[in-house]
Structure formats: C-alpha cells, structure tokens
Structure 1
Amino acid sequence: MARQFALFSLALTAAISVPVSAGEVQAAVAANFAGPMARIGEAFTAATGHTLKVSSGATGKFYAQIAAGAPFEVLLAADDETPRKLIAEGRAVAGSDFTYAIGKLALWSTQPGLVDDQGAVLGKGGFAHLAIANPKTAPYGAAAMEVLKARQLAGAVAPKLVTAESIAQAYQFVATGNAELGFVAWSQVASPGQGVKGSYWLVPPSLYGEIRQDAVLLKAGEKNPAAAALLAYLKSEAAKATIQSYGYGLK
C-alpha cells in the first residue's frame, strides 16, 4: 500500500509539473548552435512539456524561407541583423528580439600541429583547401572573410577556398579531410567535457565584427504559448549555463 501511494504521489507530481496544454514549437536554428540547442531542447521539454521541432541551417537561407512563407515560429539567428530585418518587414514581433549568445570564430584542423596559435599557417601555406561558410548567407563565413582581409590574405588564399552552404558543412569539410583546415564556430570544436581534437587558432575578436546571435518570435508563432515559452527558457540560468559550456559569450 505504501509503495502504491508513493507511485501515485510521483505520478501526481509529474502531472502537475508538466502543463496539461503542452504544445509544439517549430524553431529555425543557426547551424553553429545545433549542438547546444539539442541539449537545451531536451531540458526545455522536460521543464515545460512542450515539444520542440528544430531545423538547422544558414541564417541567410532561413531568412529567404521565412520571407517565402515557411511556418517557422521562432528564429535563432547567427547574427542580429536578420531578426531586426524581419521585424522591420512585419515578419517578426517587435520587441521580441534579444541576444542569446556571442559567437566566437576559430581556425581548425584535424591535423595536430598544422594550425598554430597565431594563425600564421594562413600566410605560410602548406594546405590545399580552406573551408569557410558562404559569406553571403552565413555570418560566420562573413566573419572569416573579415579575418582574411584584416590579415591581407583574401587574394592569396582565394584559389584555396572551399565554400560551404553553412558553418555545419564547413565543419564537415574539415572533419572528413576534404579540407585540411577551415574557419568554424568555436562551439563546434569546444564541446563540453571534451578536448579540442587536432589543432586550432581561436581568432581574436578584434579581427572580426562581434557575432551577436539574436533570437526572435516570428509572426507565425505570435499566438503560440510554446513559442513564447521557448524564448523565455533561453533566458533562464539553466539555458545560459549550457550556452556558456559550449564556449559562447553572453551579453
């Protein structure tokens, strides 16, 4: 009897803690944030009962899809310009945007010793392919081009550039050996509890514009409590701890 009562109490507690009207939210998430979002999504569902459906990719492509009527309800961009643009166009809710993470750029190779801690390898050569995300659609790709221009190497390395659709694909090019090195998001190689494999240069922030990653509530999710709950959860201390554990800065 005591055991049955204990089980009933646990079931009642669980029922109370999870909303009866648990819903679903569709989120478009910048490719660099896919790893952290997987962990945050699990915690979000456990805390609220809401289901999270995530699509990850390049911010520029998401903008085009949203403009074309894609039913995303929340956007986690890799920049702050896209959310502001969507608000100005009436495709996102004014006042809902905020910075959820400050991104960091890294030059990375799976080969130990190839990339030095000053990024001098870019000028010395010794590699055939340098992967970057498409600078026209991916903010991390634009940041990579800023670094190359700041080092006055854009022309010299141009024949070696391998342009990826997103920062996730740029990472894959390097991880699979199709490019000896590449510019990636620091969060992709600095996963919690794991050392960085290979060699890397954490690019000084002075060489590229601050990568402020903003989230925004899209018009499609304006009346969806689950969408509002997701944005609120991103501001929680639990979510912030996860974000920092992946090497991001916070505003």
Structure 2
Amino acid sequence: MLRLALLWPTLLITLLSPITLADEVRIAIAANFTDTSRQLAERFQTDSGHRAIISYGSTGKLYAQIRNGAPFDVFLAADQQRPALLEQQGLAVAGSRFTYASGKLVLWSPNGERFVDGTDFLTGGRFQRLAMANPQTAPYGLAAQQVLQKLALWPALQPRVVRGESIAQTFQFVATANTDAGFVALAQVRAWPQSAGSLWEIPQTYYQPISQQAVLLVRGQDNPAAQAWMNFLSSEPAQALIRQAGYGAGP
C-alpha cells in the first residue's frame, strides 16, 4: 500500500501533464489564409496540445491593430513589409520573421462560361463589375492593381472596380455573383466546394511576389504555445499542407 501511495503523485503528473503544459496562442492571420490556417490549427492542436485562437482581417488592418496594442502573440501577414516594420518598431522579436507561403493571384468567376482567356476578358471589357481587394490594406489587392497596370487597364477600369476590405470579402463578392469576376487567391478557389468555374492563373511576372511572412510578436516571446506554432508552421507537415492548398513554397 505504501508503494502504491508513493506512485500516485507520479501517475497524476503523467496524466495531467498534457493539460498542464497546454497553452493558447493568439494569432492575427491575413484573410487569404483563412481556410488553410483552420486546417493547420487543427493539426497543431492535435500534435502539440496547444490551442490556436485566430483573428482574420486584411494585412494592413491587422498591422494597425497590433500597433495599437491588440493582444496577439503571432502575426501571419500576406506580405513581408508589415512584419519587417513591426521588427523595426520593436513590436516583434528580431530574427523571428520568415516566409511561410508565397501567394498566387487568379482571376475567377464561379460561372464556368464567364471567360476562357482572362486577358481577353479584361481587355474586351465584357463585364460590368470587377472585384479586387483594397490595394492600400491588402497585398492581393496591390497585386491585382499591378496586373491591371501591366495590361494598361488600370485607369480605364476604375469605374467598374468594386473593392473589398480584405481578400475574404472580395471572394464573397465574386462567389455570390455580386460582381462578374474578381482577383482572388488561388487557395480560396481550391477551397471552394463547387466547380472551379472560370479561372485564369495569372503569370507571376505580372505582379510582384506575394511573400507571406510570419513574425513572433513581443507579447508572445515568452509563450511556449507561440513558439511551438512558429516551429510548426515552418515544419514539413505544415508546409506540405500549405503547398496542397495552392501556395508556393515557404522557407
């Protein structure tokens, strides 16, 4: 009996340790990465026991929230500019920043008969409304602007452009047929449960690379769950899932 009594504390520590060690990480994530991050968060919790609490929005708005003291531990942006600025401003841990995915821009409509050739569709003007994210706050919106500038269509199409606050809202505009077509992320179309519709995978030479970077924020530097998330995000299982979702390679 004495021996059994001595073993009980050890047994309790063993049984309770996953719960005791589990923690939460609060992550600000660019809207284009919504579907992929949900899959990653499930895998992360299964593998580590830690829980990811995620907030989505445009990169620019999330950056502004972090600067104003929003309680995030990690930032997954859709560009490299804002994470770098946070490092320079002392709000992110120096040296923690890395590219977790490379974004791919597409022109898309759920209507499979909307267009065959994206360039012909845009230059021919056979549409009334075209969706894109706000170039000031969303990197995918900036990429869409660069595509239209490349095709010498930017000034002419301004009256027809409908801007979403984020790439997620932009996708909704297109998916609900509130616009004829729109510039969205390839990963969003891959996650769309219905048919692919009309799709033009835009040559990546038409826009500057969308290097999506993650950075550990100062608030999360002593949070084991935050560090575990950063390690997980750069791991091969996570990167394989990211590639399957329609992004280019990360680290």
Percent identical: 48
Residue-pair matches, total = 239
Structure 1 equivalent of residue 208 of structure 2 = 209
Q: Which amino acid aligns with 1:114?
A: R
**Residue deviations 1:83-120 (CA, integer Å, cap 9, x gap):** 00000000100000000000000000111121324432
Q: Secondary structure at the match of 1:201?
A: strand
Structure 1 equivalent of residue 24 of structure 2 = 24
With over 3 angstroms needed to count, the CA separation of the structure-2 counterparts of 1:19 and 1:48, relative to structure 1, is farther
Structure 1 equivalent of residue 129 of structure 2 = 129
**Residue deviations 1:117-163 (CA, integer Å, cap 9, x gap):** 44320111121110000000000000000000000000111100001
- Bigger Rg, which one: 2
Structure 2 equivalent of residue 200 of structure 1 = 199
Q: Distance in 1 between matches of 2:197 and 2:223?
A: 44
Q: Distance in 1 between matches of 2:15 and 2:61?
A: 40
Q: Distance in 1 between matches of 2:33 and 2:99?
A: 13
Q: Distance in 2 between matches of 1:67 and 1:169?
A: 23
Q: Which amino acid aligns with 1:95?
A: G
Q: Secondary structure at the match of 1:162?
A: strand
Structure 2 counterparts to residues 165-180 of structure 1, below 5 A: 165-180=165-180
Structure 2 counterparts to residues 112-151 of structure 1, below 5 A: 112-151=112-151
Task: Give TM-score scaled by structure 2 length.
Answer: 0.91
Q: Distance in 2 between matches of 1:207 and 1:217?
A: 31
Structure 2 equivalent of residue 247 of structure 1 = 246
Structure 1 equivalent of residue 57 of structure 2 = 57
Q: Distance in 2 between matches of 1:82 and 1:116?
A: 36
Per the TM alignment, residue 197 of structure 1 is displaced from its structure 2 partner at its CA by 2.1
2:27–2:54 contact (8 Å) kept in structure 1 = yes
Structure 2 equivalent of residue 66 of structure 1 = 66
Per the TM alignment, residue 17 of structure 1 is displaced from its structure 2 partner at its CA by 9.0
**Residue deviations 1:21-65 (CA, integer Å, cap 9, x gap):** 100000000000010100000000001110110001100001110
With over 3 angstroms needed to count, the CA separation of the structure-2 counterparts of 1:46 and 1:17, relative to structure 1, is farther
- Larger CA deviation: 143-152 vs 122-131: 122-131
Structure 1 equivalent of residue 218 of structure 2 = 219
Q: Secondary structure at the match of 1:96?
A: coil
Q: Which amino acid aligns with 1:134?
A: N
5+ long unaligned stretches in structure 2: 1-10
Per the TM alignment, residue 198 of structure 1 is displaced from its structure 2 partner at its CA by 1.0
Q: Secondary structure at the match of 2:119?
A: coil
Structure 2 equivalent of residue 6 of structure 1 = none
